Amino acid sequence: MKRFLIYIITTLIAVCLLLFMMDYIYSYVYKHAVPRNKVANLLATPLKNIDYVFIGSSRVDNTIDASLITKKTGKSAINLGVQGGKLDDYYLMLQLLAHKKISTDSVFIQVDYVYNIDGTSEILKSNLIPHINVPVIDTYIKERDPNYWSLRYVPFFRYMKFDYKIGFREFFNSSIGKAPKHNLMNGYSPKYKKQNSVLQYKLPDTIAKENSVIEKIKAFAEAEEITIVFFTAPFCKNTQNIAYVDKLKIQLPSLIDYSRLFIDRDDYFYNCSHLNNSGAQKFTEIFTDDHLNTNP
Amino acid sequence: MFFNSLTFAAFLPIVFILYWFVFKRHLKSQNLLVLVASYVFYGWWDYRFLSLIILSTIVDYFVGLALQKQQDTKKRKWLLACSLVFNLSLLGFFKYANFFIESWVDAWQMLGVEMQSSSLQIILPVGISFYTFQTLSYTIDVYRKKMEPTSSFVQFATYVAFFPQLVAGPIERASHLLPQFKIPRTFNFETAKSGVHLIIWGLFQKVVIADSCATYVNAIFTNYEGMNSLTLLLGAVYFAFQIYGDFAGYSNIAIGVARLLGFDLMRNFNYPYFSRDIAEFWRRWHISLSTWFRDYLYIPLGGSKGSKTQQIRNVFVIFIVSGFWHGANWTFVAWGALNALYFLPLLLLKQNRNNIDIVAGGRFFPSIKEIFQIGSTFVLTCLAWVFFRSSSITDSLAYLERLFTNLEFKKQYLNIERYSVEMLLLIAFFLGVEWVYRQRETPLYGKFDMVKIVIVLLMIIVFGVFSEHQSFIYFQF
């Protein structure tokens, strides 16, 4: 039995050493490699000023072509939309901008049904995990993830828990310096053609009475002297409960509503809630003409 | 409780310490500990279904004792029938009730009679197919006077509920496992070490091979209508390795855990994908089930004796029942029938026992003939797996039709954000390791075992899938 216990303890020590070693290697690569997602890019950017910042979910990620804005206005712009993003995530993005001391002219936040939702994007969380040592990110994970302790202190646990996004595949791509699919300084991820022949979508029947994160965002913007503009990106014609956006305008009186902008242009949609590349280009153009200074 | 969970990682050391340090000198207490641990292990999933195991245990325990006392053949048959009816009714109700209701409604609808379809809300108790077969083997063996029934209820209950193999096998014979509860177990370093090797290798098979393949398989089978021939082919191959890694992984962990407690369980897989024909494949795949059906169904039916018609009937019966054992769906029946069709020519030409030795024995490389044999057997197996994996016969036929008619062989980008061919490297590595060590129980045993263990542990950490917890496939059976 004594021999066996020594054998087991040796094996367990080997496991611990491997976990420490891999954690160090992965963290080192993610910290020093070419950024492959928006969080890593934001943390690595040397920029101290970005004129226009767009924050939101995939309805920003796939919708705002920041390079077109730069072309039209001569000012810098970045799309920080993330797949599955919720208001909490938008707040974090604002905090990261402040953490990096990046000044902005205006921050545009896309709000729609997310007003009713609490929660965070798992995709964004997976991008944040390698940078858990950054205080803002540490607080974000601590307040929102029940596994915070393990993620923070158990070696390699964070990479195992989010292996589908930051596991070996992503680690390998980062180590060889493989460029991301889309230009992160622009941040726009276009969708092409149409996902389904039938476009349909349903917005919630009712609207939440309030959203505490919105209030936090407003307070944070005021404290940091950031100009925040809320807007709603287009939905397709066949959207049920489109009147939800009218209710949202009551809650957020300054909301710029583009929800019905392309109501007769189904060809602009990838699916009912996401524009395709043609739609995104057109929308970015209209948005720029309407709200951004095009005469530098 | 899953083997690949943190709960089990805490549970096993506790049981191990209590077993070898606290109850070391007292056999009855050790057995009782294993029984309690087994009930905790099962109850962790759903304690309500423990009642089924306990009920089944009580019935077969008393039937066993009654069979011993009873000498009248007719009454002995009645006792056996009681056990069979009770156990198979439990299995039939919990596993097949909805299937029969739906098939009945479908059959009438095909004849143009509309019927109201309503399914019962039945939860399938995990492992019911396994422990039912295990208790049946006890009653049948006692009836056949191949073994004496046990008078110790604790020993019998522990045999039925033995946690390492309770929910997904290997399906142990009473004649092999039950006597082990009667004799004191002594700790043996080499046995325990081999147990650790099996656990680590089983984990590798599960979290690295099976679960990685599962990601691709799910993406391909769910969207097969948009996939080309190459991707569909890979989908079938990946599923072959998913189910192998999943089930062989579970079996290896089960055998390894049992060894840590001083028990010997039968081997369940013996490198099946190196089989040179389907008969050999079935001698190497899910061995505990194949031999169960052979001993309790095939041979009583006449086996390979009798007229050609009887032989054909027996082959179809055993394979279709085996398919149906896996699940209440026509896809499993089709999978069984297809395997029967593969097996039949070998039996009729008396070539089903051609390949009983190790492939390429004494050589590193197989001959061209062996490569062809292994390849063709693997292709046949993969075709059958398509039925096993699909959710309906219509889907399986559509999958195969597209596979053979699309004829595009470009690598495709899947909705899981990776190319369809990316898993091949890992599978090639796995196959290579299995080939090199095909004469051993696991690749980890032997020279430089600590180095091999570290490499495998590293691979588990780096390549394992931990984010999407994949339940063991055979839990659903």
What pLDDT, on the 0 to 100 scale, is given for residue B239? Answer: 97
**A183-187, A216-220, B124-128: range with lowest mean pLDDT:** B124-128
DSSP string covering B134-152 = HHHHHHHHHHTTSSPPPS-
d(CA B403, CA B363): 36
Catalytic (active site) residue B326:
yes
**Closest Cβ–Cβ partner in A10, A162, A169 for B418:** A169
Q: B454 in contact with A at a CB cutoff of 8 Å?
A: yes
| CA-derived radius of gyration, chain B | 23
Among A156, A160, A191, which would you mutate to test the B interface (most chain B Cβ atoms within 10 Å of its Cβ)?
A160
Q: Mark yes or no for CB contact B189/A164 under 8 Å.
A: no
Confidence grade of residue A66 (pLDDT, cut at 50, 70, 90): very high
**A12-21, A94-103, B121-130, B288-297: range with lowest mean pLDDT:** B121-130
Q: Is the pLDDT of residue B120 over 70?
A: no
Write out chain A residues lying below 8 Å of B454, CB-based. Answer: 14, 18
Write out chain B residues lying below 8 Å of A161, CB-based. Answer: 466-467
**Closest Cβ–Cβ partner in B20, B457, B465 for A163:** B465
| Partners of A271 in beta bridges | A274
Q: What percent of chain B has pLDDT over 70?
A: 96
Q: How buried is residue A248: exposed, middle or buried, by Cβ count under 10 Å (0-12/13-18/19+)?
A: buried
Mean pLDDT of the residues in chain B: 90
Supply φ then ψ for residue B412, to 5 degrees. -110, 150
Catalytic residue among B26, B197, B286, B326: B326
Q: Is the pLDDT of residue B163 over 90?
A: yes
Q: Output the six-digit token pair for B62.
A: 């008393």
Q: Output the six-digit token pair for B10.
A: 């805490």
- Cis-peptide into A130, omega within 30 deg: no
3-state DSSP assignment of residue B1: coil
**Closest Cβ–Cβ partner in A14, A163, A168 for B454:** A14
Confidence grade of residue B230 (pLDDT, cut at 50, 70, 90): very high
- Cβ B278 vs Cβ B380: under 8 Å: yes
- Cβ B320 vs Cβ B336: under 8 Å: yes
Q: Mark yes or no for CB contact B418/A156 under 8 Å.
A: no
Q: Mark yes or no for CB contact B468/A164 under 8 Å.
A: yes
Write out chain B residues lying below 8 Å of A14, CB-based. Answer: 450, 453-454, 457
Residues near B90 by beta carbon (within 8 Å), at least 6 away in sequence: B52, B55, B56, B128, B132
Mean pLDDT of the residues in chain A: 90
Q: Mark yes or no for CB contact B461/A10 under 8 Å.
A: no
**Would you say the ipTM is above 0.90?**
no
Q: B54 in contact with A at a CB cutoff of 8 Å?
A: no
Confidence grade of residue A295 (pLDDT, cut at 50, 70, 90): low
Q: Mark yes or no for CB contact B467/A160 under 8 Å.
A: yes
Confidence grade of residue A180 (pLDDT, cut at 50, 70, 90): confident
Write out chain B residues lying below 8 Å of A18, CB-based. Answer: 454, 457-458, 461
Confidence grade of residue B94 (pLDDT, cut at 50, 70, 90): confident
Q: Mark yes or no for CB contact B196/A161 under 8 Å.
A: no
Supply φ then ψ for residue A108, to 5 degrees. -105, 125
Confidence grade of residue B116 (pLDDT, cut at 50, 70, 90): low
| Partners of B374 in beta bridges | none
Q: B429 in contact with A at a CB cutoff of 8 Å?
A: no
Q: Where are the domains of chain B?
A: 6-111+119-186, 191-276+355-476
Q: Mark yes or no for CB contact A4/B189 under 8 Å.
A: yes
What pLDDT, on the 0 to 100 scale, is given for residue B271? Answer: 94
Confidence grade of residue B441 (pLDDT, cut at 50, 70, 90): confident
Average pLDDT of B224-241?
Answer: 96
Confidence grade of residue B470 (pLDDT, cut at 50, 70, 90): low
**A196-205, B29-38, B365-374: range with lowest mean pLDDT:** A196-205
Q: Is the pLDDT of residue B444 over 90?
A: no
Q: B153 in contact with A at a CB cutoff of 8 Å?
A: no
Of A157, A164, A57, the C-alpha closest to A113 is A57
Q: What residue type is assigned to position B406 of the chain?
A: N
Write out chain B residues lying below 8 Å of A167, CB-based. Answer: 462, 467
Phi-psi region of B154 (alpha: psi -120 to 50; beta: other; left: phi over 0): alpha
List domains and CATH numbers for chain A: 2-291 (3.40.50)
